Amino acid sequence: MRERALAFSRWVDGGMFWITPTLLVLGLLISKPLLPFVPAIPYLFAYITFVMGVGCGRGHLKQVFSRPLPIVLTLVLCHVIAPLAAFGLGSAAFGASSPYTIGLVLFTVIPLGVSSVLWIELAGGSMALGLAMVLLDSALSPIVVPGLIQLFFGAELTFDTVHMMRDLLLMVVAPTAIGVIVYERSGGRFKEKAAPVLLPVSKIFFMLVILLNAAGIAPYAYELRGDLGAVIPAVLLLVAIGYLLGYYSPYLLKKRTPDLPITVSFAAGMRNNSLGLVLALGYFSPQTAVPVVLAILIQQPLATLHQFILQRVGPYRMKERLPR
């Protein structure tokens, strides 16, 4: 039973590039019976971040502070350079106050994607550094996300900043902190012992979040279909820029390990789009969610392409088996 549960978890990890778009399409097609369950998304998300937290302890956090420059570089790249690029791109294509511009900027200010840790491990990067960056960025999200949205759009955009900060605390920071405490109290053994339950359930919840988020935007999808042709190139360019800058920017550092470009590139290219979709639908117009939805569809295939290139020309070759 244990092996079957873990095999299911690995199967989901290995199939995210096709599972994610499949669930999005399915959620759009059968949205009506799913709509009553959409309010459960924050609770499902909180469990996912808790599971992420039980895999990290003080040792991982010490590693973050022992190598501050890669962390600072990644956060500046993701939450300074990328939002500026998103705002400039969106303003040029749709106008500075367009909901699509807000959606592009929202995509760049949400925390780093949890799924980036999987790709980092597969491609031979530093899983410990990637996980620590995700946790740190998630912990900062209640300040970073509403702060940057206000900085870029100010009085043009009215939303409940305090409520958003509270939701981010409940969905990301609190469950992650509880997970880290559990890790420390168990000496890091809790996740290993509970993995046959924790991991499959977290993967199921992850898929449910995608499915329910898609169902949540389904009522508006038909009206928005005419705009997709204009938004898709903008999102594709923005995500691709994240991967490229993430790979080459570590070469600015004098002291770097061979796995650093791999780690930073996946971290910079992938965002926690499930959280972004929750925020887009909860605080902004449905049009704002369109770039985030498209980013979900685009970033996984681009991760696969990036991984394919690294396998052949990168400093590390991809590992033959999925991480256990």
Residue 87 structure tokens: 């705002």
Segment 66-77, tens digit of pLDDT? 778 888 999 999
Residue 324 neighbours by CB distance under 10 Å:
8
Confidence band (pLDDT; 50, 70, 90) for 319?
very low
Among 210, 231, 240, smallest CA distance to 303 is for 240
More confident residue, 270 or 224: 270
pLDDT digits (tens, 9 = 90+) for 39-72: 888 888 888 878 877 877 777 677 767 778 888 9
Phi, psi angle pair for 259, to nearest 5°: -85, -5
Structure-block tokens of residue 185: 């109290």
Amino acid at residue number 293: V
Nearest C-alpha neighbor of 289 from the set 207, 206, 208, 215: 215
CA nearest neighbour of 104 among 114, 89, 118: 89
Average pLDDT of the segment spanning 182-188: 87
| Structural contact between residues 298 and 114, judged by C-beta atoms closer than 8 angstroms | no
d(CA 91, CA 102): 10
Check residue 128 and give its pLDDT: 73
Task: Note the pTM of the prediction, 2 decimals.
Answer: 0.75
CATH topology of domain 2-12+19-313: Na+/H+ antiporter like fold (1.20.1530)
Tell me the C-alpha distance between 264 and 305, whole Å: 16
Is residue 164's pLDDT more than 70? no
Compute the average pLDDT of residues 172-181.
83
Tell me the average pLDDT of the chain: 82
Q: Which of 96-110, 141-155, 215-229, 281-295 has the lowest mean pLDDT?
A: 215-229
pLDDT of residue 324: 38
Specify the residue for token string 């639908």.
Answer: 281
Give the whole-angstrom CA distance, residue 289 versus residue 280.
5
Q: Do 146 and 284 form a contact (C-beta atoms < 8 A)?
A: no
What local confidence, expressed as pLDDT, does residue 318 receive? 42
Give me the residue spans of the domains in the chain. Answer: 2-12+19-313
In the three-class reduction of DSSP (H, G, I as helix; E, B as strand; rest coil), residue 113 is classed as: coil
Q: What pLDDT does 256 receive? A: 78
* Statement: residue 209 has pLDDT above 60: yes
Confidence grade of residue 285 (pLDDT, cut at 50, 70, 90): confident
- DSSP letters for 298-323: HHHHHHHHHHHHHHHHSSSPPPSS--
Percent of the chain with pLDDT over 90: 20
pLDDT per position as a tens digit, 234-257: 999 999 999 999 999 998 888 778
